[in-house]
Chains A and B, each alone.
Chain A
């Protein structure tokens, strides 16, 4: 299968772009653990290296590793690498992760295009069993439901569709990683993301418990969830992230204030909704931001006014208000 970089320009996926900036913004909260520039970033840079550019420029991280499975286009990746501090590692993440040195704190963002599968879970295991206290691990997978490819031509019963979904899940994830009380509804709509989240979390729990069983209490590992995003730039995607710390660093971890509205510690995800707005509309709306500071009545009046003046619904304005600081602008340029 061709890699997704041959199909999509990552920087043109607006929800993804917003998520990336939100994550970058949040990572400043790691300051109590030390300077961000002393972290190592591990990611899948593809040919665009968007996350690498952002984290280098904004967080000043300068030890960066990009894992690239397509080793036959080495020259292309080397050519596109925006900064010399990015080290390319060619091969499957399953193998590369175990070849890296893990002696410093990392921010590892494994951003897959695929749905959750055993390889991803192996990567989870390999990252968790290696990282040190103060590290952040972020994982993105597709949580798009599986449907029979010919379902428009056939009349499948609900039961057949559910069976199809179940089979797909068990093709990708081995039975010991699937919760025992799996229900049909866990496989549909938003619930699929919840299920994936649970499966990943179960894996983390399993590995942490193995690690902790041979560690003295103050060296034992704990984690807290800091991200739980859902968005869709076409296919449904999810991103979950955690901060890992040892018992002796618990105080430091507590000082890290991951307290933005999109830092979701709970199972309920934060949905990034991107209203479709022109540049002119964005600028118009920007003049009223931040809405959050306004009184309720004032807000309602504002929504009405905007609806009347430029026909943008309250729902879109509300969505925009949540993400306007991170909203990407795309302009076609004729060169």
Chain B
């Protein structure tokens, strides 16, 4: 008899292991992603009919939407399945793709979850106790209620997700005011593009306002824009190409806001990235205070979410993805001229401070820029390549800088005697000249 090795997964893998890979706030975003995918399926250009209400207390998390609900067929075959099913019907431009987010979020948050769904023709309720489910050898969830071939009022369709009996650590986080503020901000950022397109999200009854992506522009300082379609990767022509739009320019000087923002299918996955992932210190100089004016927005879209370079936690980039690697080259290319401009502007400014320049033309140009929401900028605000405006003219080929340092009075007097000079200034100049005469090349 042939011996075989059993490699079936354990429930603990899902309940206790995979949950470690995702931060708590992001797990909640995974649940919201489901609602958004529901809306995207119904209308992926205008979201103004859709509403997602998030309620979070130290006892439970509730997410209620009017985004179409889950059909019984989808619930049976895909929604609760661990992992992606290839035969699943695609929702173009969806966010969820890996078949892991919702279940992982349930396990991460608490011991009990309830999913109530109403479509136009069906309704169901699933209620599960995770501890009991873990001890049950079956990999099934049971419908608590189910109704098919009915007529639900279109006003009432949607999904309600509730996680109860929260884990202690989750509950103590949910209790903290700052956790809630942080989560609210994360929601605002992650969905800012979709909120911009009309989606209403409320968090503990507060309506979220989108985080305005912005640039400062003028007639001489514009936003560099490139657009490209990648139809071929992983050694094959893709049915769903990836569309990449990159925008790079300047905005207000804010140290924590400078950097690259990356969106996949309208969901932000990297916020103000200042690391090697977007080329800082790897192709571009390392991020530092002079670059706090920089803003870059990358929008990646594909009908097939699996083609986008995100990780299953959607907190980051899948760095092995060819799309990402080629994106990184493009990012370096579009970013570099903006950084050159910022570096030159700082050099000019410090020359002005040191009295070597009367005025900085670059800084003047920057002062003339106006803050604009990204969505308000029309074609005249964009260009293919960031152009550096005219620089201040350094007329003289001889340039001077000032050196200052402190020395003991007695020593300075001694030097004055040795040099036969009267003033401290002369001491400085003569000792410097003496040094260069002795140690310099000529």
Residues of chain A touching chain B, judged by Cβ–Cβ distance below 8 Å, are 71-73, 75-76, 91, 94-95, 98-99, 101, 122, 125-126, 129-130, 207, 210-211, 213-217
Which residue on B lies nearest to A218, using beta carbons? B232
Evaluate contact between A76 and B325: CB separation under 8 angstroms.
no
Evaluate contact between A210 and B283: CB separation under 8 angstroms.
no
Chain B nearest CB from A326 CB (Å) reads: 34
Query: A73-B397, A75-B397, A214-B232 in contact; A98/B326 too (CB < 8 A)?
Result: no
Binds A, one of B23-31, B332-340, B401-409: B332-340
A214 to B307, CA, bound (A): 12
Query: A72-B394, A99-B388, A101-B385 in contact; A215/B332 too (CB < 8 A)?
Result: no
For chain A, what secondary structure do more than half of its interface residues adopt (helix, strand, loop), or is it mixed? helix
A95 to B388, CA, bound (A): 12
Evaluate contact between B231 and A216: CB separation under 8 angstroms.
yes
Query: A216-B232, A216-B237 in contact; A210/B397 too (CB < 8 A)?
Result: no
Evaluate contact between A211 and B329: CB separation under 8 angstroms.
yes
Query: From residue 392 to 441 of chain B, which have CB atoms closer than 8 A to chain A?
Result: 394, 397, 399
Which residue on B lies nearest to A212, using beta carbons? B322
Question: How many of chain B's residues touch chain A, expressed as a range?
Answer: 20 to 34
Chain A nearest CB from B102 CB (Å) reads: 31
Query: A75-B397, A76-B397, A101-B385 in contact; A213/B233 too (CB < 8 A)?
Result: yes
Q: Which residues of B contact A94 (CB under 8 A)?
A: 336
Evaluate contact between A129 and B333: CB separation under 8 angstroms.
yes
Q: Which residues of A contact B336 (CB under 8 A)?
A: 94-95, 98-99
Which residue on A lies nearest to B387, using beta carbons? A99
Q: Which residues of B contact A101 (CB under 8 A)?
A: 385
Evaluate contact between A210 and B325: CB separation under 8 angstroms.
yes
Evaluate contact between B322 and A213: CB separation under 8 angstroms.
yes
Q: A99-B385, A129-B332, A214-B322 are in contact. List 6 more A-B contacts (CB 8 A).
A: A73-B397, A98-B333, A99-B336, A214-B233, A214-B325, A215-B232
Bitwise, B200-243 to A at CB < 8 A (1) or not (0) is: 00000000000000000000000000000011111001000000
A72 to B351, CA, bound (A): 14
Q: Which residues of B contact A73 (CB under 8 A)?
A: 397
A-B contact count (CB 8 A): 57
A210 to B237, CA, bound (A): 16
Whether B194 is near chain A, meaning CB under 8 Å from some CB there, is no
Which residue on B lies nearest to A102, using beta carbons? B333
Residues of chain B touching chain A, judged by Cβ–Cβ distance below 8 Å, are 230-234, 237, 283, 322-323, 325-326, 329, 332-333, 336-337, 339-340, 385, 388, 394, 397, 399
A29 to B22, CA, bound (A): 57
Evaluate contact between B337 and A98: CB separation under 8 angstroms.
yes
Q: Which residues of B contact A130 (CB under 8 A)?
A: 333
Q: Which residues of A contact B340 (CB under 8 A)?
A: 91, 95, 99
Chain B nearest CB from A78 CB (Å) reads: 12
Q: Which residues of A contact B231 (CB under 8 A)?
A: 216
Evaluate contact between B326 and A211: CB separation under 8 angstroms.
yes
Chain B nearest CB from A221 CB (Å) reads: 12
Q: Which residues of A contact B385 (CB under 8 A)?
A: 99, 101
Q: Which residues of B contact A98 (CB under 8 A)?
A: 332-333, 336-337
Which residue on A lies nearest to B321, using beta carbons? A213
Query: A75-B397, A99-B340, A99-B388 in contact; A214/B332 too (CB < 8 A)?
Result: no
Evaluate contact between B397 and A72: CB separation under 8 angstroms.
yes
Evaluate contact between B326 and A214: CB separation under 8 angstroms.
yes
Which residue on A lies nearest to B322, using beta carbons? A213
Q: Which of A99, A122, A130, A211 has the most CB of B within 10 A?
A: A99
Which residue on B lies nearest to A71, using beta carbons? B394
Which residue on B lies nearest to A219, using beta carbons? B232
Chain B nearest CB from A210 CB (Å) reads: 4
Evaluate contact between A214 and B230: CB separation under 8 angstroms.
yes
Evaluate contact between B283 and A125: CB separation under 8 angstroms.
yes
Which residue on B lies nearest to A99, using beta carbons? B337
Q: Which residues of A contact B329 (CB under 8 A)?
A: 125, 129, 207, 210-211
Q: Which residues of B contact A129 (CB under 8 A)?
A: 329, 332-333
